[in-house]
Amino acid sequence: MTQDAVLPAAQYVLRDSLKDFREAIDGLPLEALNWKPVEGDTNSIAVLTTHTLHSTRSWLSVATGATLPERDRDSELLASATDPAAMIAFFDEFSEQCNDLLKSSGAVDWAATRKTHARPGQAPEEVPAAFALIHALSHLREHVAHVGLTRQLWEAKSK
């Protein structure tokens, strides 16, 4: 039997992305975590962190056939940090949960159809496991870049 090459590759991308994400938020003061580069359609690092980790855990659960976690997407997009250490603790806890989803998966049927959280008009309610995995990792990388850029803008503003 051939070993699943997708899972180790996904584990690598996940670990690398979470490492970059943690480096981008580590050491930031509370004001930076809640700062928006432009009022209106931009998000703070606290919002991006909260939303991205909930989303990644949810989509990895779909990909691996794990039980879907509770999720309130609307509240994720209203999040604010109250303490930098608490934000790092939240990040570490969710990162571990995401890593565990891929570690404990064993063999995954990437063609299997899985149920997602309902988001009428935005995402199908059932997707192939492969779609869920690719979406989880690409969405994560997208927001890692957003957080990194937001940190750069904060640091440039603060000089």
Whichever domain contains 120, its CATH number is 1.20.120.450
Task: Give the tokens for residue 106.
Answer: 């064993």
Strands (DSSP E) along the chain, which ranges? 113-115, 126-128
Q: Output the pLDDT for position 125.
A: 86
For the chain, how many helices (H) and strands (E)?
6, 2
Mean residue pLDDT across the chain: 92
Q: Is the pLDDT of residue 2 over 70?
A: no
Confirm whether 55 is domain-assigned: yes
Confidence bin at 5 (pLDDT 50/70/90): confident
Q: Is 88 a member of any domain?
A: yes
Instruction: In whole angstroms, give the CA distance from residue 143 to residue 102.
Output: 20
Taken in order 42, 43, 48, 50, the sign of the CA dihedral is: negative
In-domain check, residue 23: yes
* Cβ neighbours of residue 36 closer than 8 Å, sequence gap 6 or more: 42, 43, 44
Q: What would the pLDDT profile of 49-69 be if each residue is shown by its tens digit?
A: 999 999 999 999 999 999 999
What's this model's pTM, rounded to 2 decimal places? Answer: 0.93
In a domain? residue 60: yes
What local confidence, expressed as pLDDT, does residue 151 receive?
A: 97
Query: pLDDT-based confidence at 1, cuts 50/70/90?
Result: very low
For residue 40, what pLDDT band results from cuts at 50, 70 and 90? confident
Domain count, the chain: 1
**pLDDT tens, 69-111?**
999 888 898 899 999 999 999 999 999 999 999 997 678 899 9
Report if residue 73 sits inside a domain. yes
Beta bridge partner(s), residue 119: 123
pLDDT tens sequence across 122-144: 767 899 999 999 999 999 999 99
pLDDT > 70? residue 37: yes
For residue 80, give its domain range. 6-157
At 105 the pLDDT is: 61
Question: Is 1 a domain residue?
Answer: no
Residues of the chain with pLDDT > 70, as a percent, come to 95
